[in-house]
């Protein structure tokens, strides 16, 4: 059964997990560490990285949608990561009609990235997918940032 994706904050989420975490949440938190580590260089290049994040766990081939209100005039980046060695995942951004809307995206193993400069203000969907994984369930974490561009 899919665990629902949850929104959590770093480092408050880490503290909570250290105190009394179900096993599933622990690897989600590890995934979060990887996601923030990957996003850090972007913060140094002027992106504002949100302090809260989204995460959960999925089986191979499963997808999850995270809904976002984005504003024309900003650029947005979504960084997805897992701590599972050998897993491959990706994130892509679609508009409210289901059309691919990102300006660029890439995926490499446990990291994936998508960037969008919205053509119009409105609702967008970050679709998170586990392409392959050696584990039955793969914890994932999504962090998101924006900048004026």
Residue ranges that bind another protein, judged by CB under 8 A: 4-5, 7, 9, 12, 16, 38, 40-42, 44, 48, 50-52, 54, 63-74, 90, 92, 94, 96-100, 102, 104-109, 111-113, 120-123, 125-127, 131, 144, 146-148
For every residue of 63-94, DSSP letters joined together read EEEEEEEE-BTEEEEEEEE---TT-EEEEEEE
Choice between 27 and 53, CB closer to another protein:
53
Closest approach, Cβ 136 to another protein, in A, equals 20
Tell me the C-alpha distance between 133 and 149, whole Å.
36
- What is d(CA 8, CA 137) in angstroms, rounded to the nearest whole number? 19
Is 106 or 134 the residue whose CB approaches another protein more closely?
106
CA distance 73 to 32: 28
Q: Which is nearer to another protein, 16 or 26 (CB)?
A: 16
107 and 88 Cβ atoms separated by less than 8 Å? yes
Closest CB to another protein among 26 and 125? 125
């Amino acid at each position: 059964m899919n665990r629902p994706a949850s929104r959590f904050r770093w480092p408050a989420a880490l503290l909570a997990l250290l105190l009394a975490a179900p096993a599933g949440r622990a690897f989600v938190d590890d995934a979060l560490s990887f996601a923030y580590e990957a996003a850090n260089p972007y913060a140094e290049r002027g992106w504002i990285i949100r302090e809260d994040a989204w995460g959960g766990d999925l089986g191979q081939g499963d997808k999850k949608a995270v809904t976002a209100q984005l504003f024309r005039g900003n650029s947005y980046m979504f960084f997805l990561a897992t701590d599972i060695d050998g897993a491959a995942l990706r994130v892509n951004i679609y508009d409210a009609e289901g059309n691919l809307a990102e300006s660029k995206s890439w995926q490499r193993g446990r990291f994936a990235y998508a960037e969008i400069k919205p053509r119009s203000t409105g609702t967008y969907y970050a679709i998170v997918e586990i392409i392959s994984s050696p584990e039955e369930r793969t914890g994932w974490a999504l962090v998101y940032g924006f900048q004026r561009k």
